[in-house]
Amino acid sequence: MNAIQYDVMTALPEILVLCMAMFILLLDLFLKPSNRFLIYVLSQLTLLGAAVLTTVTHVPAVGYAFSGLFVDDPLADVLKLGVYLSTAVTLVYTRQYTALRGMFRGEFYALVLFSTLGMMIMISGQHFLTLYMGLELLSLCLYALVALDRDNANSTEAAMKYFVLGALASGMLLYGMSMLYGVTGSLNVSGVADALLSGAPDHGVLVLGLVFIVAGLAFKLGAAPFQMWVPDVYHGAPTAITMFIGSATKIAAFAMVIRLLVQAMFVLAVDWQGMLVIMAIMSMIVGNIAAIAQTNIKRMLAYSTISHIGFLLLGFLSASLNGYASATFYILSYVLMTLAGFGIILLLSRKGFEADRLEDLKGLNQRSPWYAFMMLIVMFSMAGIPPTLGFYAKFTVLQSALQAGFVALVVFAVLMALIGAFYYLRVVKYMYFDEPEDHSPIVAPVDMKLVLSINAIGLLILGMLPQRLMDVCAYAIIHSIQ
Amino acid sequence: MIFQDYVFYALAAILLFAGLRVITARNPVHAALFLVLAFFTAAGIWLLLEAEFLAIALVLVYVGAVMVLFLFVVMMLDINLDKLREGFWNALPIALPIGLLMAAEMVMILGSKHFSPDMMSTPTPRPAGYSNTAELGRQLYTDYLLPFELASVVLLVAIVAAIALTLRERKDSKFIDPAEQVKVKRADRIRIVSMPSEKEIIPVTAEAVEEKKK
């Protein structure tokens, strides 16, 4: 029998994260509660180590490992760095919040690291099985994390809804994959692409499989009409977990869209373009109009996510490298904005108090002018007002859609963005023109204040100098997708 | 038709019937037992496909372990069936057409036009002595090592999640930590409240209220 080569080197970051997650799980048993801080430090070091390994092993070429089930390309490296960064920032922001709510436990950090592993596998999956296993790993961790605040009825309900609907979506995804396998005889991303290129197998069955796959992906991304779970889960989950679901996991879902639709089924681009157009339109309508009626800021951000996903899908419409690069740029900037937005909510939360109503932001300018300004930047960025990052992200995505000839859709998207600006600016109005209802001081660790400030200022600086980030996205796409 | 065909059609008919009864049976224990029957016949069909190891694993794992456990759970839970069935007839007028429509669409696309036996090449029978189990093991530990390892991580996460969500300290535990007890300070037990000296309070009587009203 031949010796089998596993290029373990390519999967070093994954192996590190897995080992450290298991180590933390064991270490937690032997640690005194007063020494739990060590677990937090170890988790951050793990993410840092994974980032270093990903950067060191980076080559500007596509490399396969594990019999072609795993791929290590520049796109994977860039997206993984995004995942590490957003997870690390999430951990910084949530340390105080979880400590005050009895969630500062070893399981929390182990589950976060396991879900990071799931996301890394989703990003690097080159086989339907690998992609699916990564997705399930991520989803299982998220269901548990949502329910981790066990005595909170809202969280439990959110976890239940998320679990049932998530299982349904996974089922749809698997069903679509089985159709594809039935027609092409391959489960490998490049194998499916080759089979589709070499001849036109049964088109009807292919499109049926495609419909199921797109529906499953849309659920994971939170695109309308598969968005029902998003507001409830965002609202019910502890804010720390909402932040995690809203940021890092979207990068992984985005990677899965690239792997499945762009790399495996590029031949069917005409078919999925039509589906994405409908989903983009519906997401922008539902997201922007329903957000106006919300009084809970977590729900509002949930609808804001839906509308952002609508914009993200515009990037895929052109089915060109340029479009994918702009979509990559959009997802990364969306994650940065979401992190800062939830960071402010976490900053204002105290023991026994969730700052999740819009009224809680009233008069923030009088309580703390600096953080009111930070929130102002975040809201401007989400609304897409120059010179923030959100403006440039929307601009590139719309530009790529325009080049592909979707003029009416672009006009519609701009109109929807205008409607969306209303509810973002309402937050600004609450902060600057209303009297504060609550005068308690804002207490937070120094590192959180520092990272939050850098995060929000970063939105402004990247908005003015977006070229570097755009170059990175373009580089990743060009060297990964043939 | 050869003998295997008859066996296939018989097993398939039983499988469909059992599947239907799983969702229509009134008694949840019956539903679980029909699911056992469904697994059993599915294992039979897998045997026909020469997937002997998987067929036996299905019977051992699902019928032998999972479903028995499931039956225990169903029997221990007090499930109110009437409450579960509430709204069944209300939802039926919408659910039935949608279900039928989806079934019709599936038949159209997955019918014999696209997936007929003539389109597939006849599989060559395996030579004698061919070990299904060995082949499966070889694939699992070589080509599919990564998903195999990932599945074990998923199982680990399932254990962690189940314990994290259900492990609770007993609320009625009377355990006292002596160290904590010794360290107690005066300030932990009593609180000095500064309040203004009390004035004489005139009790409010019913007559006084009546007088005020006038």
pTM for the predicted model, two decimal places: 0.88
Please enumerate in sequence order all residues whose Cβ is within 8 A of that of A88, keeping only pairs 6 or more positions apart, or say none: A44, A47, A48
Restricting to A residues 174-213, those with a Cβ less than 8 Å away from any Cβ of B are 182, 202, 204-205, 208
At A63, is the secondary structure helix, strand, or coil? Answer: strand
**Rounded CA gap, A446 and B1, in Å?**
78
CB contact under 8 A, B153 and A18: yes
Among A384, A394, A388, A392, residue whose Cα is nearest residue A460: A388
CB contact under 8 A, A114 and B115: no
Residue B53 near residue B46 (C-beta atoms within 8 A): no
Residue A94 has pLDDT above 90, yes or no: yes
A130, A150, A205: residue with CB nearest B146: A130
Residue A401 near residue A476 (C-beta atoms within 8 A): no
**Res. A67 pLDDT band, cuts 50 70 90:** confident
Nearest chain A residue to B158, by CA = A140
Residue-wise DSSP of A117-147: HHHHHHHHB-BHHHHHHHHHHHHHHHHHHHT
Chain A residues in contact with B169 (beta carbon < 8 A): none
**Rounded CA gap, A288 and A295, in Å?**
14
CB contact under 8 A, B150 and A111: no
Q: What is the pLDDT of residue B204?
A: 72
- The nearest CA of chain A is from the CA of B4 a distance in Å of 23
What is the mean pLDDT of the segment spanning A317-325? Answer: 90
What is the mean pLDDT of the segment spanning A45-61? Answer: 93
B109, B157, B163: residue with CB nearest A137: B157
**Residue among B138, B143, B149, B153 with most chain A CBs within 10 A, to mutate:** B153
**Res. A424 pLDDT band, cuts 50 70 90:** very high
What is the mean pLDDT of the segment spanning A343-370? Answer: 88
Indicate the angle between helix axes B145-166 and A12-30, nearest 10 degrees: 30
**Rounded CA gap, A383 and A425, in Å?**
8
- The nearest CA of chain B is from the CA of A294 a distance in Å of 29
Question: Which residue carries 């502890």 as its tokens?
Answer: A238
The H or E element that residue A71 is part of is strand A70-72
Chain B residues in contact with A148 (beta carbon < 8 A): 164-165
**Rounded CA gap, A417 and A311, in Å?**
9
Chain B residues in contact with A137 (beta carbon < 8 A): 150, 153-154, 157
Q: Which residue has the higher pLDDT, B116 or A60?
A: A60
The pLDDT > 90 percentage for chain A reads 72
Q: Does B160 touch chain A (CB under 8 A)?
A: yes
Question: CB pairs below 8 Å between A and B: how many?
Answer: 74
Chain B residues in contact with A167 (beta carbon < 8 A): none
**Rounded CA gap, B67 and B28, in Å?**
12
Q: What is the pLDDT of residues A170-182, one digit of tens each?
A: 999 999 999 899 8
What is the mean pLDDT of the segment spanning A304-316? Answer: 94
Please enumerate in sequence order all residues whose Cβ is within 8 A of that of A369, keeping only pairs 6 or more positions apart, or say none: none
CB contact under 8 A, A148 and B165: yes
Mean pLDDT for chain A overall: 91
CB contact under 8 A, A18 and B158: no
**Residue among A1, A119, A137 with most chain B CBs within 10 A, to mutate:** A137
**Res. A6 pLDDT band, cuts 50 70 90:** low
Mean pLDDT for chain B overall: 84
Q: Does A234 touch chain B (CB under 8 A)?
A: no
Q: What is the pLDDT of residue A4?
A: 53
Residue A1 has pLDDT above 50, yes or no: no
Chain A residues in contact with B144 (beta carbon < 8 A): 67, 69, 129
Restricting to B residues 173-192, those with a Cβ less than 8 Å away from any Cβ of A are none
Among A343, A357, A351, A348, residue whose Cα is nearest residue A456: A343
**Res. A3 pLDDT band, cuts 50 70 90:** very low
What is the mean pLDDT of the segment spanning A111-120? Answer: 96
Q: What is the pLDDT of residue B170?
A: 65
**Res. B207 pLDDT band, cuts 50 70 90:** confident
The pLDDT > 70 percentage for chain A reads 98
Restricting to B residues 115-134, those with a Cβ less than 8 Å away from any Cβ of A are 115
B109, B150, B164: residue with CB nearest A137: B150
Chain A residues in contact with B164 (beta carbon < 8 A): 105, 107, 111, 144, 148
Q: Does B101 touch chain A (CB under 8 A)?
A: no
Restricting to B residues 35-64, those with a Cβ less than 8 Å away from any Cβ of A are none
Choice among A210-219, A383-392, A437-446 with the minimum mean pLDDT:
A437-446
CB contact under 8 A, A144 and B143: no
Question: Which residue carries 């340390």 as its tokens?
Answer: A95
Residue B213 has pLDDT above 80, yes or no: no
What is the mean pLDDT of the segment spanning A410-423? Answer: 93
Q: What is the pLDDT of residue A300?
A: 94
Strands (E) located in A83-182: none
**Res. A376 pLDDT band, cuts 50 70 90:** very high
**Rounded CA gap, A172 and A220, in Å?**
11
Residue A137 near residue A174 (C-beta atoms within 8 A): no
- The CB-side HSE value for A232 (13 A sphere, CA atoms) comes to 16
**How big, in percent rounded to 5, are the helix, strand and coil portions of chain A?**
80, 5, 20
Q: What is the pLDDT of residues A177-204, one digit of tens each?
A: 998 998 888 899 999 999 888 876 678 8
The H or E element that residue A324 is part of is helix A321-348
**Rounded CA gap, B41 and B55, in Å?**
10
Q: What is the pLDDT of residue B102?
A: 86
Q: Does A127 touch chain B (CB under 8 A)?
A: yes
Q: Does A25 touch chain B (CB under 8 A)?
A: yes
Residue A85 has pLDDT above 70, yes or no: yes
CB contact under 8 A, B157 and A202: no
| Both structure tokens of A42 | 């170890």
